[in-house]
Amino acid sequence: MQRFLLFFVIASGVSRAAPTPDFQNTVKPVLTGNCVVCHNASLSSGGVNLTPYTNGATLTTDRAAWEKILHKIEAGEMPPKGAPRPAPAAVASLVSYLNSEFDKQDRSVAADPGRVTARRLNRSEYTNTIRDLLGIEFHAGEDFPSDDLGEGFDNIADVLSISPLLMEKYVSAAEKIAARALGNIPLPKPVTVSYEAKDHNLRRVDVDTIEAVHRVDFDGDYDILIGLPGARSADAKPVRLALWMDGKPLHETTVETKPSKLVYFSPFSEEHFRVSLPEGEHVFRAGFLDDDFIRTLPEKDYYRAAKNKYPGTINITGPFASTGEKASRKQILFCDPKSGSECVDRIVTALARRAYRRPPTRAEVRELMSLTTLAKQQGLGPEDGIQLALEAMLVSPNFIFRIEHDSADARAHRVSDYELASRLSYFLWSSMPDEDLLRTAEAGKLHEPAVLDSEIKRMLADQRSSALAENFAGQWLEIRNLDSIKPDPDRYLLWGPELKNAMKTETLMFFSYVLHENRPIADFLDARYTFLNERLAKFYGIPGVVGPEFRRVDIETNQRGGILTQASVLTVSSYPTRTSPTIRGKYLLNNILGTPPPPPPPDVPALDASKVGSEISLRKQLEEHRNNAVCASCHSKMDVLGFGLENYNGIGKWRTVDGKFPIDSSGTLPGGKSFRTPSELKSMLVSQTSEFARCVTEKLMVYALGRGLGPSDRPTVRAIDEHLQAKNYPFQDLVYEVVHSLPFQSRKGELITTKQPPAIKETAHK
């Protein structure tokens, strides 16, 4: 009897033990009980039929679809709010099982670093490369057509094609750039262009600062005269007058505030600068740096000559021949071309090495040298031959494209050190490798982890790393769009160029600070600091910030903190005349949570916003809009997120009412958690930092690799997440992790093999 009882107890225990996790008892019950109810052949909600995926074989045959399913379940998007939800334990088991199965698949196949097609330099990269190659400014954005976007960025190889028009632009640019670099463009007779307020070609930025946009047609020296109307009392202190071009200081001088002559019976003086200017359209600004006197005057006295002295006019005269040797010419002609063909060969070889971002072959050098011979046969000098060879380099595929070569005997292989140098420099600088990086590649040491870390550190400390903020953050956060949007000036009276520039500067400086200080990624969501000048601080209602200079400011209000409450982000996610919870919700899904909604269906009815704020609240109008079944599927996810930012108007200023209706900022995250205020929204997003970190990781990898991510990249993204999670996701460490990753350092070749070369090994950054 005791044996029987013991056997019964043991048998009962076995029967009650949890079954071994497999597709049938872990995944299929959730699909059939919760998912297929809406996503079946008949309903196909959202255009998705999950019935075929109740078969476990699809985990292998359609891995990409399962990646999407898993991502939506992990993010809490599915099942949607209001639908029956499986028990949390069942969801956790499903997620754990699928991740385990995908890990097994990843380990059972050879590592796949992916493949990038030959990548054309985009406009920003072309501009920066010409600057670093030849030392001259050429703004490709003014001459070349816009680059296409892919995956949200303009450096994606598969969309960077060359049209016949662009090829013509390349040829024309090569001729102009080569002539400018060698200083072989004859200068015309100098002319004077005047900028005055009465002619409506001068803009007053502030009470003591003026600005004008001027086109410089030729590299050369120019005289700039700043007219200073007005006078002050005899005991007034001198001030410093500064001149800037495109935001960069050109010159400073001390100005006496007493008048030097009378013009039209008014006191007037002027300050003269002789400066060297590059060709192109530039913004010139002149202003006082330390003028405490003018800031204390009543506004009515700002421009009264008898009461004040202030910058009033800008005159630009030129071009004049530069007094010294042109820097780019000196850089190119490091020996005298007239001394013989050996010197010309050395110059051409050195230029090709830097233009091609690798040592040129002897065959390539011979082809270029044949152009110098042709120039000589036509009676031209050796410098003309070098100029012709340089033109040929600038239209060569070796310059216009970043070309990588496959190994002859491997399916996947490590890229060469020269190719790795270009990957690194265009990732961090949006430009070519400098001499230090090329020499490291030439020594064959760049792929060594310690050496690579040293180069990353050096390059991030270089001012050229600002390109990572301008091009990566500018596109990830969409603040590039600030240059093209035009908020309604009648509705937003504070909007203007100065405020717009301040908005952009805040976000770029904030991003750079998080990067260079290696701050946690969560700072992007709710940092208790930002970067402000007086104008932007007043716009935000933050006291104690005086002057035009930007500086780090601690935030003591819950109205601000993190990128989502910065005016740049709030402005680009609004319409010109009003806010848009839909656009802001989409922004959050795409750029913060990494779960972009599908594109809108055709023939979606437009929202009638004419009565918003006066007869109906925007929230109520959108609720009625969602009653349309065509709109509801997407708007039910976007709007409820975007409402969390409704306390900020269309240009990011805090408000508590919209028209005559109070603001309701309550909403819901995709996982079902509710919030009532922007501060609560940010706190909940911070609690989901792992999802945000994965989104940032994926976007940074896309930008760094120049291609979209696929299932083969999943192990890399997961490994980076594991490495950084324990350290609280420091942002600069993420940059190191991306550079050390297998996809960044390797590429898939054309040949298919069954064995992974032992040389490729992905290691964590230490």
Question: In the chain, where are the structural domains located?
Answer: 2-108, 191-320, 327-402, 488-504+524-559+568-680
Q: What is the pLDDT of residue 258?
A: 63
H or E segment to which residue 314 belongs: strand 313-320
Share in percent of the chain as helix, strand, coil (round to 5): 50, 15, 40
Separation CA 725–CA 258 (nearest Å): 63
Please write the tens of the pLDDT for every residue from 226-271. 998 877 766 677 888 999 999 889 999 988 766 555 444 456 788 9
Q: Spell out, as residue ranges, where the chain has pLDDT lower than 50.
A: 1-15, 262-265, 299-306, 752-764, 766
Separation CA 739–CA 352 (nearest Å): 27
Separation CA 525–CA 686 (nearest Å): 6
Please write the tens of the pLDDT for every residue from 469-489. 999 999 999 999 999 999 999
CB 475 within 8 A of CB 564: no
Q: What is the pLDDT of residue 49?
A: 86
H or E segment to which residue 369 belongs: helix 362-377
Q: Centre a 10 Å sphere on the Cβ of residue 23 and count the other Cβ atoms it contains.
A: 18
Q: What is the pLDDT of residue 291?
A: 64
Ordered alpha helix ranges (H), 473-580: 474-476, 497-516, 523-526, 534-540, 567-572
Return the CATH number of the domain spanning residue range 191-320: 2.60.120.260
